[in-house]
Amino acid sequence: MHARIALPLLLAATLAGCMAAGPPIASQTPPPEPRSPLGSPFSDREMGTSDLGTPLVLDRTDLSIGTTVQFNRLPTPSELHDAEQLTGLAHVVLSLPSWPTDLEAMQALGRVPPETDVVVVLPGYPPNRAAAQAWNYVNARLRIVLVVTEPPPSVAVVGDLNTMRGLERVIAQMDEPSRTGFERLQRPLGFRKVVE
């Protein structure tokens, strides 16, 4: 008799114990804040060309298997040497926060192997003609991409861009794409719109 009573009592106690825990606890993460189209004044990120991050380079014509090394600044000669030691170094990508002023640091890019591309992403227009022409003294396979937020301030700036041998293209980050001001540019012009 005890076995007949003990077994259902044990089963009832087990079920009651499992049910005593209550419903599962809801997630403790706060709900996402509503996003303003103008962004947050307290954000850690700035909008515009300085928000380029580290770009991913995709080239339809490049069918090789290779390694890409990315920097957000001009690398030191020892960092370039370390990159050279990687198997199949194909691209060195530099996403610079501003136009460099140190010609010696730029000359270090000449130590990259001759079969390796150096892709440089620069924000804005060159501050002066010397900054634009300094890239002509770098002895490397340069592919410079310029990201701007407005048309060129003058025809002289367009002339400076046209003298840059390594300038591959100009990307205009604008809400409304327009070729106005870029008519004399002798490089491909693309448009970029960032939607958040």
Q: Output the six-digit token pair for 51.
A: 């928000």
Strand-strand pairing, 67-71 and 141-148: unpaired
The confidence score (pLDDT) of residue 39 equals 45
Out of 30-44, 86-100, 126-140, 142-156, pick the least confident.
30-44
CA dist 38 and 144 (Å) reads 30
Judged against a pLDDT cut of 60, whether residue 156 lies above it is answered with yes
Alpha helices (H) in 2-153, listed in sequence order: 2-19, 77-84, 103-107, 129-134
Q: Beta-carbon neighbour count of residue 112 at 10 Å?
A: 23
AA letter at 86:
L
Task: List all residues 6 or more positions away from 141 whose beta carbon is below 8 Å from its beta carbon.
Answer: 112, 114, 115, 116, 117, 118
Q: Write the DSSP symbol of residue 164.
A: -
Q: pLDDT (tens digit, 9 = 90+) per residue, 51-103?
A: 556 666 666 676 677 888 999 999 999 999 999 999 889 899 999 999 999 99
- What is the token pair recorded at 134? 């300094």
Give the Cα separation of 182 and 47 in Å (integer): 23
**In the block, residue with structure tokens 């307290």:** 42
- Rounded to the nearest integer, the mean pLDDT of the chain is 80
Residue spans of alpha helices (H) in the chain: 2-19, 77-84, 103-107, 129-134, 155-162
Q: Where are the domains of the chain?
A: 49-192
Quickly state the pLDDT bin for 196 (edges 50, 70, 90).
Answer: confident
Q: What is the pLDDT of residue 44?
A: 42
